Chain A
Amino acid sequence: MLEEGRIGTNEAIAATVYFLSSKLFISFPQQMATVGLTAAWIVPIISFGTGAIGFLIIAALLRRYPRMSIVEIGEEVAGPIFGTLASLGYLAFFFAATILVMREFSETVSTALLPRTPLSAVMAVFVLVTVISVYLGSEALTRAAFLAAPLIVVTLLFLNLLSLPQANLDAMFPLLGPGLSKLIYHGVLHSAVAGEVMFLGVIAPQLRDADKVRMMGLVAIAVTAVFTSTALLVFVTVFPYPLCVHIPYPGYEVSTLIYVGRFFQRVDVAFVFLWVISGCIELGLGAYTTTMILARMLRLPVYRPILPAVAIIGYTLAFVPPDVPTATRLDFEIVRTLGAIAVFIVPAVLLLVAQMKEARAGGRRRARSA
């Protein structure tokens, strides 16, 4: 059975929040600072706002076709060929995003925690955990995310609060950074930072309260926007603009600066739990979504047989970028820009087609009845 288990509203929201916000702990803040300068914290608000609009389209599709996932909806609306092409778009987005995030998380761990451990070993552990978590299924993953929800809230709260002594509020100005138009442009262009919200469209048949999917997505996006924006605000005030674009892992760097008395310092390692666990959840959800899209595309009754193949291909492709900056650029400049076409524009087209078909069918009915 492809859909195993049932997912509650709280679990779905927690998982989506982790899925969306885990990129905060890798080089995402640096990229935001590169395009938003001193107003880096505004860019995610615009991006997630755009993503919320995109998700409303997905939610409309899901409501029109209840108990169907976004993959089946595509095939239902656009036929098997165009539907498969649409699903390939989702697949490409999630697979690429997951691979690049895995590479970046592995590099973060390797740099910050285990500098003498080979990257391949660190990544292998991530792959192993991802395989286990995907094998156990979405029910376990989302429940684990909900169980770990206090971790992300409390740790981010502590991180932001304890970093405040190092912050310089003057670094926020000019408040709009490169200007409002540029902020909006970059925000909209990178709206695929919220693309993972389509996860809800993939697990829609498993949701206990499928009619609340719109609320789930919007709440998750809102919470993530608050998390991300706050963290970026702290980041750009702790590391003023010219400096912050050169720091690859701002979350880690900020935590190293925490100094609360002589005893409570260098507590960056304490935040490792958040980074690693959120990374594991993100990778698990990414790999699960990828595998499920593939399984649904191929109409497989189960998804587990293709899991080893997906894991090995993902592990191999993660080494393709020669270095971290390349992986980061690929992620931010390609996946997070072109990805919007796959995760937001394609569903919009599908919704349009669905409405047209419905209108045509309604016209035929009226003609017949007349």
Chain B
Amino acid sequence: MSLLRDVLNEIAALLSFESPAREEEFVLDTQPRLPGLTSDVPQSEAPSPPALEGQGQTPGRAQVQAPGQEQEHRQGQSQAQAQGQHGRDRRQHRGWSLSGDQAGGSAGEPSAVEWLSEALPRTPYGFLRPRKMSTIKIGFGRETARPVRPLPIAHETSTEISPPTHGNERRTTAQESPPQGDNQQQGQLRPREPGDGPGQGLGQGQGQERGAGHEAETSGVPCGEGTGPGAAGQQAGPASGRGGGSGNKGDEVKPLAENLQANLDALKQVLHYGLNSDVIVREFDVPTTPSTRAAIVFMEGLASKDLIDLAVLQPLMLIANLDRGLRAADVLETIERRLLPGNQVTRKDNLRGIIEGVIAGTTCLLVEGCGTALEVETKSWEHRGISQPTAETVVHGPQEAFNETLKNNVALVRRRMRTPDLVSEVIKVGTLSRVDCAVLYVEGLANPKLVAEVKRRINGIRADQIQDTGSLEQFIEDRPFMLAPQTLSTERPDRMAAFLSEGHVGILLDGSPFGLVAPATFWALLQSAEDHYLRWPFGTFLRLVRLAALAVAVLLPAVYIALTNFHPEMLPTDLLLAIAATRERVPFPTVVEVLVMEVSFELIREAGIRVPGVIGPTLGIVGALILGQAAVAASIVSPILVIIVAVTALGSFAVPNFNMAFAARLTRFVYIFVAAAFGFYGIAVGVFLQMLLYVNARSFGVPFMSPVAPFAQSSGDLILRYPSWSMELRPAFLQTRRRERQPEVARKWTPSWTTDAPSPDSGTGQMAEESSGGRPTSRRDKGGRGRA
């Protein structure tokens, strides 16, 4: 027995069937144990990400180490050693034997074989896949931290400690920024720069990337949070973390010189001035005595020329009358405070910050003798106006949709949520595209762990370009091989605002007219904004219709095949004879007939999207002829099948979420095949398997079928839509910090609940009484709290 036990233990350890994907994934415990949640803010719980250079560096790489850095370095080292210990444990568990030096994460570089073994875990899908996310210790769960081993680097890179930079170039709030003194006390340690995330690019980034970047990922705290100067610190960190791409030159945090020409030369070199026709450098003299040389740099097309002319050049060239004998620094101060009427002026003291601003559309003002530049907000480019939603149309409700401009989209949401707690943190995504990605949430309401996880995933994206949220969601979803979407895509700001008020997290990407909502549950994907704008019986009815539509879209052709091939006895005799008569002249078996029609329909649908608009109507005629009259007349398909395919298509069109409808379209083909092979037995088995996969899936740690399986209390906003006044609680699975959405008595105006109700004699009182009329105003009226 013991021998058998040992053998099986060995096999188990070697094969490691312990579902690494499950271990690695973020799990938001769905059981509402809220009392402990308020104290679970990551800033206090999770280890702070190292924001200082040198932390997490492999020993021997840091050539310069400040005295104040030692402690940080030791922390990083001990953390790395702890990870190394964990790694050793795992390797021993797998039957590997390594010497201490080899095994310790901080003691030496792992071999390529070791690294590959660590980086390519066996997945539950049975093949190897590069590890993309590490585990974080979240909630009350069962997850264990798994170390992310540093990547082996073939060549040594110098780790240069940059001089400290000023904090005045960041527009951050006080609570986001640590006390400046802390950083200053670190002597030569450099605080995070905007766009200075886990790595610093090629120049000095490798060591830091391997240390700080991975440490931050492992600890589950988004880079920059809680240590660096907040949002600005997060912006471009991950994007530049791996270096590469065109932004490398800009990644150099090179301080500005006091010589204007030197600064201009550096800028021109990085921006490929001369080759890049849209880079504009305008040099001029500020009328001081003697005159002061200055220059502005901006990108044509991204910055407003009118604004630059009127708000930058005109005051500086024509109005300026500065005092004599001003020092260069005072000139800059005077320009900033008196001469630049722009509403957003920021100081920048390094090349990288300037370049990022210029690329984004701001105008950079450089002054002779100043080691600091001024960045004037002049962003302005051609963009589409706010238009009506195209994919989420409603009859009753707001008729505006997101467009391609991030600021507009954030403003559209903010217009509907006029609370200062609505936070929009911007993270740069893509090493080449460097697109702004805004993470929206309501501070004090959304679960901080969820917010941190969303930011961690976005920060962890290593892609050269991401142009749309459709691409973005593929980088951050939990189960890439699952057909159903795990984030909810919406183009409606009102819907985004509604989700945010529930405690979800919104994601907007500059250039994309669709936002993402995370996490997404199966039920949310079947809901439409209109459900809430209509009275509750209608909303409930629409939801039931949609659920039926999904079932029809997925199962109807399969059921038809099963009925006609395997279980004709279920059909009434007349119907059976009718079907048999129509199929008499059709030479194909039912499954071929169904496939022909379904494929034809998919062709028409795809062609309908790709075809130029002017010949669109022609396509409709062709499709109608092929799918309808001609196919039946040619005895290729039976007339009843045309009805089946048409109803199936209607069903898939009724699914409100485009991705979910797509999943239904693909799943339908699977069911067609299993029905052709096993009839209803196959369909039932397929339904069971799909149920299993869905209940096993997660979206940002939340079970996909929440709050039904696992069961958790909700506000009656799933399949049935309860009256709005009875939706008192936010979804339990989100573990929001404030559970109550509205008080138990939401219709406080009714006479039975208001203490200062008008007297029954007054007209208003009568009206109120009549309108309430003994009808329930809350759950309490119905005799209990009900299913909160």
Contacts and interface: CB of A to CB of B under 8 A. Distances in A.
A24 B569 CA distance: 24
A298 B679 contact: no
Nearest to A8: B710
B689 A147 contact: no
A262 B573 CA distance: 9
A182 to B, nearest CB: 38
A133 interface: yes
Contacts of B142: 1, 3-6
A8 B31 contact: yes
A114 B679 contact: yes
Interface in B667-684: 678-684
Interface residues of A, number: 54
Interface stretch (B14-22, B365-373, B411-419): B14-22
Contact of A139 (B15, B569, B572, B696): B696
A125 B696 contact: no
Interface stretch (A165-173, A184-192, A270-278, A318-326): A270-278
B688 A302 contact: no
A146 interface: yes
B709 A122 contact: no
B577 interface: no
Given A114-B566, A263-B572, A132 B8 contact: no
A298 B9 contact: yes
Interface of B: 1, 4-5, 8-9, 11-13, 15-19, 22-23, 29, 31, 124, 142, 566-567, 569-570, 572, 678-685, 687-689, 691-693, 695-696, 703, 705, 708-711
A354 B550 CA distance: 55
Contacts of B570: 266-270
B692 A132 contact: yes
Given A129-B688, A140-B692, A276-B685, 5 more contacts: A141-B692, A144-B691, A262-B572, A276-B684, A305-B8
Contacts of B567: 113, 269
Given A1-B142, A146-B711, A300 B572 contact: no
A103 interface: no
A208 interface: yes
A133 B685 CA distance: 11
Given A8-B711, A267-B570, A273-B687, A302 B681 contact: no
A144 B8 CA distance: 30
A81 B705 CA distance: 43
Given A125-B685, A280-B688, A113 B566 contact: yes
Interface in A288-336: 298-306
A136 B688 contact: no
A144 B12 contact: no
Contacts of A122: 678, 681
A122 B684 CA distance: 13
Contact of B680 (A4, A84, A263, A269): A269
Contacts of A280: 684-685, 688
26 contacts: A4-B142, A5-B142, A8-B711, A10-B711, A11-B711, A113-B681, A114-B681, A117-B678, A125-B681, A125-B682, A129-B685, A129-B688, A129-B689, A135-B124, A136-B692, A143-B695, A269-B567, A269-B570, A276-B684, A277-B684, A300-B12, A301-B9, A302-B16, A302-B17, A305-B8, A305-B12
B681 A276 contact: yes
A144 B709 contact: yes
B681 A300 contact: no
B684 A298 contact: no
B692 A277 contact: no
A135 B17 CA distance: 9
A244 interface: no
A222 interface: no
Closest 10 CB pairs of A and B: A304-B17, A276-B684, A143-B695, A143-B709, A140-B696, A147-B709, A10-B711, A280-B688, A269-B567, A298-B5
Contacts of B709: 11, 143-144, 146-147
A265 to B, nearest CB: 7
Contacts of B695: 139-140, 143-144, 147
A71 to B, nearest CB: 13
A359 B101 CA distance: 53
Nearest to A275: B684
Contacts of A300: 5, 8-9, 12
A219 interface: no
Interface in A101-141: 109, 113-114, 117, 122, 125, 129, 132-133, 135-137, 139-141
B614 to A, nearest CB: 48
B146 to A, nearest CB: 12
Nearest to A280: B688
A144 B710 CA distance: 9
A140 B693 CA distance: 8
Contact of A277 (B11, B18, B687): B687
A305 B17 CA distance: 6
B602 to A, nearest CB: 28
Interface string A1-42: 101111010110000000000000000000000000000000
Contact of A114 (B19, B678, B696): B678
Contact of B681 (A139, A265, A272, A305): A272
A156 interface: no
- The residue in B142, B570, B684, B689 that gathers the most chain A C-beta atoms within 10 A of its C-beta is B684
Nearest to B708: A147
A91 to B, nearest CB: 13
A134 to B, nearest CB: 10
Interface in A209-226: none
A124 B734 CA distance: 40
Contacts of B4: 298
Contacts of A270: 570
A276 B572 contact: no
A11 B213 CA distance: 40
- The residue in B5, B22, B681, B691 that gathers the most chain A C-beta atoms within 10 A of its C-beta is B681
Nearest to B13: A301
A268 B16 CA distance: 45
B468 to A, nearest CB: 32
A148 interface: yes
A305 B11 contact: yes
A299 B9 contact: yes
B691 A148 contact: yes
B11 A276 contact: no
A117 B682 CA distance: 12
A162 B102 CA distance: 72
Contacts of A6: 29, 31, 142
Given A5-B142, A113-B567, A276-B688, A265 B710 contact: no
B696 A265 contact: no
Contacts of A141: 692
A132 B126 CA distance: 13
Nearest to B11: A305
Interface in A76-102: 84
A8 to B, nearest CB: 5
Contacts of A303: 17
Contact of B31 (A139, A208, A276, A301): A208
A306 B691 contact: no
B680 A306 contact: no
Contact of B22 (A4, A277, A299): A4
A280 B264 CA distance: 72
Contacts of B1: 84
B719 to A, nearest CB: 11
A113 B683 CA distance: 12
A109 B710 contact: no
A241 to B, nearest CB: 28
Given A144-B692, A277-B687, A299-B5, A11 B569 contact: no
A125 B688 contact: no
B11 A132 contact: no
A42 B687 CA distance: 35
- The residue in B13, B142, B710 that gathers the most chain A C-beta atoms within 10 A of its C-beta is B710
A268 B689 CA distance: 22
B711 to A, nearest CB: 5
